[in-house]
Amino acid sequence: MKSSGLKIGAFVLIAALIAIGGKIIATTPFFSDTETSAGNTLQVSDIFPQSAPLYNSNPYTCSGGASNTAGPTFGSVVIGKDNGKVIVDATLQGATASSTYDIWVNQDPGGCPLSQPTAPGALTTNSSGNGTAHVEVNLVSGATKFWISAVGGGQVLRSTAVSF
């Protein structure tokens, strides 16, 4: 009796190990195919808007946006593109109170540096230095990097660039 109980227990254990091994083998390609997974991730990132912080940074590069990123941030910008447009939602936080800011939408290559603001006076901050602006501009053909400047209130607030 004891011998048959051990045989049944051993059989159950072996069957369980085989089932677990089969599950591991069946799911390995799904979870370890990094080429397919990375490709899917990169494709999706081109669809969704991207966010970047705003810095008080006078220096910039056309390909990177704000160069001086050591200090505090003054809000953020969400940049997306859709149907030949660049869509910008800027949020200033803790900027100069009760001030008007021009928004400059930079696109690289082809739309940087700009000679005039994209949206003059587009954003006015409240008494706490907070404000928002929504700006849409035509997409520059071939541009892959996008960033903004918010100029006003004695500040030059620039975002770092996002890539699409």
- In terms of domains, do 6 and 54 share one? no
In a domain, 37, yes or no: no
Q: Determine the structural domain holding residue 14 and report its residue range.
A: 2-32
Structure tokens at 4: 């048959």
- In terms of domains, do 54 and 27 share one? no
- In terms of domains, do 107 and 157 share one? yes
Structure tokens at 142: 């071939």
Strand partners, 56: 157
User: Mean pLDDT, to the nearest integer, of 119-142?
Assistant: 96
Q: Are 110 and 142 in contact (CB under 8 A)?
A: yes
Q: What is the pTM of this model?
A: 0.72
Residue whose C-alpha is closest to residue 20's, from 32, 12, 31, 10: 12
* Percent of the chain as helix, strand, coil, to the nearest 5: 25, 40, 30
In a domain, 39, yes or no: no
Q: What is the pLDDT, as a whole number, of residue 18?
A: 84
In a domain, 16, yes or no: yes
- With a pLDDT cut of 90, the percent of the chain lying above it is 69
Residue 67 has pLDDT above 50, yes or no: yes
Residue 63 has pLDDT above 90, yes or no: yes
- In terms of domains, do 28 and 65 share one? no
Residue 27 has pLDDT above 60, yes or no: yes
- In terms of domains, do 150 and 89 share one? yes
Helix H or strand E segment including 98:
none
- In terms of domains, do 57 and 88 share one? yes
| Mean pLDDT (the chain, rounded) | 87
Q: What is the pLDDT, as a whole number, of residue 32?
A: 59
Q: What is the pLDDT, as a whole number, of residue 149?
A: 97
In a domain, 43, yes or no: no
Q: What is the pLDDT, as a whole number, of residue 49?
A: 94
- In terms of domains, do 58 and 10 share one? no
What's the pLDDT tens digit per position in 71-104? 999 999 999 999 999 999 999 999 999 999 999 9
- In terms of domains, do 10 and 69 share one? no
Q: How many domains does the chain have?
A: 2
What's the pLDDT tens digit per position in 29-45? 655 555 555 545 555 45
- In terms of domains, do 17 and 66 share one? no
In a domain, 40, yes or no: no
- Using CA atoms, how far apart are residues 77 and 106, in angstroms rounded to an integer? 13
- Using CA atoms, how far apart are residues 31 and 164, in angstroms rounded to an integer? 27
